[in-house]
Amino acid sequence: MKATFSQFGKPTDVIELTELISETLQQGHVRLRMLAAPINPADINYIQGTYGIKPALPAAAGVEGCGVVTESLSENFQQGDKVIIINQVGTWSAEHTADAANLLKIPSDTPSEQAAMLKVNPLTAWCMLTQLRALPEGSWIIQNAANSGVGHCVIQIAKLLGLNTINLVRREELLPELEQLGGTINLLDNADSIEQMRAKKPTLAFNAVGGDSALRLMDALDTKGLHITYGAMGGRSLKVPNKFLIFKRIEIQGFWVTEWIKEQPAELVDSAYQMLARWMTEGILAQPIDSTYPLDQINAAIERAMTSQRNGKVLLTLE
């Protein structure tokens, strides 16, 4: 089976499971047996028609996942290789056929469930920490939505890089989890936390919420700090007070890992993913998994993924 949709709308209303018909493999293409794929906010927005990319309909669902090569007409891949899909959708499927250029081989011992989540969140966190501003060891970073997949990756990767994190969440019961993960300072996302954040003179802020939460990050940033927006979980746009731009001279920037991948040399993308996969294999980089569902329970999986009380990602098991 594979998951598709013929109209945009509420995912549980429009998603359909259709019979998978194997395509004749073209030269330079690879056939995969899919292992697992997560349900990301981007997947939900993609099906709703509100994502940055709006597909022609009918469309296949799933923006990332992990699979094993079962047939290859590309010299770069052999049967049995473990791969992730980095430039093509359609991962919510028992089988996937792709141009070899859209695949990336990873070590075979990379845990499959973690590898399924490798494309988006770990690379987003690594890029924001290393590619947008040079940070001396010991620098401070602040972020909201610290309990998210990206948030967890930021904490772990920052620790590996010798950087300090201030991590904001909306619920007090989430704080011990962040401390156990290695967050340097973990606070509730409210006005009472601004002074404590500001005292550390953070130079980099990661915003995935918007609205008042994004404003608090701007307020806490040090002079000439960089404020990066990579998500909009709160559904509210940024409103930037003039004083932050004029007197603090902060920079406002957006980040979308999909475009970063397209713009960078293939060697840099590959080396970054190999490093992240190695950290996963070593057990020093992981994203929490809330629950797993077989593909034939896609609606239950989507409903779970859209709840706010999850403790990690919802994964589709596709074998």
User: Which structure tokens are listed for 109?
Assistant: 């011992």
CA 1 to CA 15: how far, in whole Å? Answer: 12
> Torsion over CA of 146, 149, 152 and 156, rounded to 10 degrees?
-140
- The arrangement of strands across the sheet holding 59-60 comes to 15-18, 2-5, 59-60
User: Which structure tokens are listed for 132?
Assistant: 């947008």
Active site includes 51?
yes
CA 205 to CA 227: how far, in whole Å? Answer: 5
DSSP state of 307: -
Exactly one of 46, 51, 273, 293 is catalytic; which is it?
A: 51
CA of residue 133 relative to chain centroid, distance: 20
CA 115 to CA 228: how far, in whole Å? Answer: 26
Enzyme catalytic residues: 51
